[in-house]
Amino acid sequence: MLSQDFIRLALLAGTPIALASGAIGYFVVLRGQVFAGDTLSHVSFTGALAAAAAGVDLRFGLFAATVVVALLLALLGDRAASDDVAIGTTLAWVLGLGAFFLDLFNRSSRGGNGVIAARTLFGSIFGLSGGQARLAAVIGVALFVIMLAIARPLLCATIDSKVAAAQGLPVTALGAGFLVLVGVDAAEATQVVGALLMLGLIAVPAGAAARLTASPYLALTLSSVFAIASLWLGVVLAYVIPSFPPSSAIIGVAAVIYALSFAAASVTARWPCWPRGARPSTSPGSAG
């Protein structure tokens, strides 16, 4: 199977993106920003369609749209209390815009058969070109390195933003910068698993990791490991069973891992195998 070019490209592009998505996803879950991540993934759909309608490179539309909306979300959601509603209404509007661009595109001479829409929505990891895969790998690694670099201050700002601000950390800038990272990751992951499923690489492995351990760095590592495992197993599954779309297979594996984490958490809650004080809490993220 590894002798096939498209499999090698899929793994080359997918592994760094899964690595970065797992790490970024842990903070997304910890900060309670899964909904924001979801919105950014849908935004990438609108961006790609806008670029398609205008006839420019899809990737330009992807990155421009996600970065702009990430900044907009950071601006709108200044207070925690109005967060999810502000995000929700923005999301609805962005999807409506997507429908509009789809209309425009279908009417132009280039459009018609809906392939672009389907590819953007559900991705096509087996259809990547060599250049796309290498770019995806570079961006994935870069995102992961940036994430590790800001992990400590971001963790501080996430767990107690007041204390972090008192210590002189730029809490607002960190939050906005983090959302931009999520946006770039969403734009890149859209090309691999698609706009609608990219949340599966961000939220699902991280949700499982956060259920299993309260230690931040361990959870971050676990989350990346789960994401990469989902990607690899998913690719193998899709290769072995040709009627299984790769995006669905990847998310399917991630969902199974998540379901197992519930089982594992309830087992350790019932029969703790370590002293009471050291027992991992099942609710690490209540600060979000």
Phi and psi based region of residue 111 (left: phi greater than 0; alpha: psi -120 to 50; beta: remaining): beta
Q: Which amino acid is at 137?
A: A
Indicate whether 210 belongs to the interface with other proteins (CB under 8 A): yes
Contact range with other proteins by CB under 8 A, out of 5-13, 100-108, 146-154, 180-188? 100-108
CA 51/CA 58 separation, integer angstroms: 5
Concatenating the DSSP letter of every residue in 53-69 gives HHTS-HHHHHHHHHHHH
Q: 123 and 247 in contact (C-beta within 8 Å)? A: yes
| Site membership for other proteins, residue 73 (CB under 8 A) | no
Q: Is 97 one of the binding residues for other proteins (CB under 8 A)? A: yes
Tell me if 286 contacts other proteins by CB under 8 A: yes
**Does residue number 258 form part of the binding site for other proteins (CB under 8 A)?**
yes
Encoded tokens for 144: 């992961």
Say whether residue 215 binds other proteins (CB under 8 A).
Answer: no
236 in contact with other proteins (CB under 8 A): no
Residue 280 DSSP code: P
Amino acid sitting at position 272: P
Q: Please report whether residue 85 would count as binding other proteins according to CB under 8 A.
A: yes
- Rule CB under 8 A: say whether 90 interacts with other proteins: yes
282 lies in the binding site for other proteins (CB under 8 A):
yes
Tell me the H-state helices in 160-215: 161-166, 171-193, 198-212
Task: Assign 197 to helix, strand or coil.
Answer: coil
Check binding of 151 to other proteins (CB under 8 A).
no
Those residues whose C-beta lies under 8 Å from the C-beta of residue 184, and which sit 6 or more positions away, are 63, 66, 67, 139, 143
Q: Does 247 bind other proteins (CB under 8 A)?
A: yes
Exactly one of 84, 159, 225, 236 binds other proteins (CB under 8 A); that residue is 84
- Smallest separation (angstroms) from other proteins to the CB of 168: 26
Our finding on whether 21 is near other proteins (CB under 8 A) is no
**Residues in contact with other proteins, total (CB under 8 A)?**
65
Find the binder of other proteins among 55, 88, 130, 170 (CB under 8 A): 88
Residue 141 to residues 10, 36, 137, 145, 198, Cα–Cα distance (Å): 15, 22, 6, 6, 17
Residue ranges in contact with other proteins by CB under 8 A: 29-35, 37-38, 42, 84-93, 95-100, 102-103, 113-115, 117-118, 121-122, 196-197, 199-200, 202-204, 206-207, 210-211, 243-245, 247-248, 250-252, 254-255, 258, 262, 282-288
